[in-house]
Amino acid sequence: MDSRWATTELAWTTFPESGWEEVSGYDDSMSPIRTYQVCNVRQPSQNNWLRTDFIPRKGVLRVYVELKFSVRDCASIPNIPGSCKETFNLFYYESEGDAATDSSPLWRENPYVKVDTIAPDESFSLLEAGRINTKVRSFGPLSRAGFYLAFQDLGACMSLISVRVFFKKCSTTIANFAVFPETATGAEATSLVIAPGACVNNAMEVSVPLKLYCNGDGEWMVPVGSCTCVAGYEPSSDGTQCQACIPGTFKSKFGEGFCTPCPSNSRTSARGANICPCQSSFYRADSDPPRLRMHQ
C-alpha cells in the first residue's frame, strides 16, 4: 500500500466523525495528494482514530511502514489547554480477512497492537510552512492473511501526508555458480532466513548444502556450498554462468578452469567439447592426457 499515489478518496475509517478529516492537497511537485488532518486542540480528552483499508500480508513475516507527516508546535497555538500533544500513536490489527466495521474491532489498544509513539523531529508554527517529517517503523512476526494500520490522535494538530507499507527482501542472486531465489526477510530485524540454492545450467555441485542467508536488511550473507562448471564448459566473464567451449577449444574436466585450444593434429567443430578428436591418420595413446598433441 502506498497512499502517495492516491488521487481519489482514500475513504479510510475514522472514529469519531469529529476527529480525522480527509482533505486533498498538493505535494512539493504540485501533484495532487490525499491526506488526513486533525486539529481538535481546543477540546481536552481527545481520542481520535484513523484506520486504513485491509492490507494483504502476501506471505511476509515483517512489514515496514513509512509515515510522512507534519505537526503544529503546541507553543505556537494561543489559548489552548495543557492537553495539546505533538505526537500520535501507530497501531496494527491482524485479521484473516477484511472484516473490520465502524465499531469492530474496538477502538482501543488490545485488540489493536501498539507499534510506537511517533514524535516529529521538527514541528512548525503559524508563520512557518509545514515541516514534513519522515519516520519508518516495522513490526512482526505476522501470521494472518493481512492487517490494518491505525493511527491514534490524543490532541495534536497534525497532517498525515502519506503512508507507505513495504517489506524488505533479498533479490535473486548468483554466487559460486549457484542461483538463490528472491527471499523475504525474517520475522525479526535480526533474523537470518536460509535460501536453498541450485546450480546454474551446466554446473555441478562440489560442496553441499547450497544455501545463502538473507539478513534483516535485505542483504545476502556469505554463501555455503558451491557449484563448478562441468567438462566442456567454462566460467563466463562475469563469473555467474557456465558457457560452452567454442569450436576449436575444449575442457576435459569439471572445475573453474577455462577452455584451451585443441592440441596439434586434433580438432572439434562442436561447442561444449570435453576432448578434441584426432585428425585423420593421427592417434593418441590411451594413457595420453587430452591436452597432448596427436601421434602419427
- Fold classification of 168-228 is Immunoglobulin-like (2.60.40)
Q: Which CATH class is domain 230-296?
A: mainly beta
CATH of 3-166, one of 2.60.120.260, 1.10.260.40, 2.70.170.10, 3.90.550.10: 2.60.120.260
The residues of the chain that CATH labels 2.10.50.10 are 230-296
Q: What is the pLDDT of residue 68?
A: 95
What are the residues whose beta carbons fall under 8 Å from the beta carbon of 196, sequence distance 6 or more? Answer: 180, 209, 210, 211
d(CA 150, CA 139): 13
pLDDT of 184: 94
Instruction: Tell me where in the chain the CATH 2.60.120.260 domain(s) lie.
Output: 3-166
Predicted local confidence at residue 296, as pLDDT: 57
Note whether 159 and 69 are within 8 A (CB).
Answer: yes
Cell of 266: 586434433
Q: What is the pLDDT of residue 198?
A: 97
The ranges of the chain annotated as CATH 2.60.40.1770 are 168-228
| pLDDT attached to residue 128 | 66
Q: Which residues contact 104 (CB under 8 A, 6 or more apart)?
A: none
pTM score, whole prediction: 0.80
Query: What are the average pLDDT values for consecutive 10-residue runs of the chain, which has 296 residues?
Result: 89 96 82 92 93 96 96 88 91 98 96 98 77 94 97 96 96 96 94 96 94 95 94 94 96 93 88 89 69 63
Which residues, including other chains, have CB under 8 Å from residue 149's CB and lie 6 or more apart?
51, 52, 55, 65, 90, 91, 92, 163, 165
